[in-house]
Each structure stands twice: as structure tokens, then as C-alpha cells.
A = this chain, B = another copy of it.
Amino acid sequence: MKMSGGVEWAVHCCVVLSQADRPVPTARLAEFHGVSRTYLAKNLQQLSRAGLVRATEGRVGGYELTRGSGEITVLQIVMAIEGEDPAFQCTEVRQRGPLAVPEEACLRPCGIARVMAAAEDAWRDSLASVTIADLAKRLDVETAGSALESMRGWLGGR
């Protein structure tokens, strides 16, 4: 079970966008992260489709967050890239074989599916408890202010 590498890029991009005071072109985000523009473009489009960023056109065209960074959670970004489906898909094994439970008797999800769903909920709750603003703030504290300052300086210098 592997998370797409795009999630990592997407979260990093959102942290950078949270420090920008104007839209940041894809090429500039790609340059900042030392990665190909094509690769990043796909992830940014997925973030855009999920309504987390929006593309602006014109001379200062680029991407910007659609709302405050305190209102964008890591879970939202993961879902934007990975999709909303839970990792475990119950195929109703209990309804098979010689002791099959009739479908009409399956009023609740299978006990195994419930255990998997509870674990998925715990994972989602954990990711939903952290916003982009939290990530930026932690980075700020851990680098005594230097990381975000450098980031804003670099973003401003174009």
C-alpha cells in the first residue's frame, strides 16, 4: 500500500503558496523544488480540481491557495491526489460459500470491514488535524524564522 509521490510534492507546494503574496507560476514552483514542471503541473491540476488552489491568468498568472492556509488540511491534499476512496474495499466475502450469509441478513457492514473503517477514520482524523498553516508555523519555529523568510524572499525576487 503506497501513497503516490505526488502527495509529497503537493503538500510542499501548498506550504510554498501559503507564503506567497501573489500567484506563483508552475515553472517557478518547479524551480523552487528542483523538479520537472510537467510532473508538478499534474499535481497542481489535481489540487485545483479539488478546489484547494486556483489558477489565475495574465501577466502574474500562476497558482494561489483558494482560502487561508489554516483552512486547508493535509487530509484534503491527500484526498485531492489519491482520491476519496478508503484503502480497504469489502467484497462481502461473508456472502460466499456453503455458509453464505444471505444479503438481506447483512444489515451492518462485515465486522472485518468495520475494523478497517475504524483504522481509516483514525488515519484521516490524524491528517485532518494538521493544516498548511500548522506546517508553516512548525517550520518557522524549527528554523527560528529563517526558512519562511528565505522562502518569501525567493518568491518576491522575480
Chain A residues within 8 Å of B, Cβ to Cβ = 1-5, 7-9, 11-12, 15, 31-35, 74, 82, 85, 87-91, 93-94, 96-101, 108, 111-112, 115-116, 118-127, 130, 135, 138-139, 142, 147, 150-151, 154
Complex interface: chain B residues within 8 A of A2 (CB): 1, 85, 87, 89
Complex interface: chain B residues within 8 A of A124 (CB): 119
Complex CA–CA separation, A33 to B96 (angstroms) = 6
Structural contact, B34 and A154, CB atoms closer than 8 A = no
Structural contact, A112 and B126, CB atoms closer than 8 A = no
Structural contact, A123 and B120, CB atoms closer than 8 A = yes
Complex CA–CA separation, A123 to B88 (angstroms) = 12
Complex interface: chain B residues within 8 A of A94 (CB): 12
Given A8-B91, A35-B96, A99-B154, 7 extra CB contacts under 8 A? A2-B85, A12-B93, A15-B112, A32-B98, A34-B98, A101-B147, A115-B135
Structural contact, A3 and B97, CB atoms closer than 8 A = no
Structural contact, B82 and A33, CB atoms closer than 8 A = no
Structural contact, B154 and A112, CB atoms closer than 8 A = no
Complex CA–CA separation, A5 to B125 (angstroms) = 24
Structural contact, B88 and A112, CB atoms closer than 8 A = no
Given known pairs A88-B8, A123-B122, the reply for A32 and B99 (CB within 8 Å) is yes
Task: Choose among A11, A115, A150 the residue with the greatest number of B CB atoms under 10 Å from its CB.
Answer: A115
Given known pairs A1-B82, A98-B31, A151-B99, the reply for A126 and B119 (CB within 8 Å) is yes
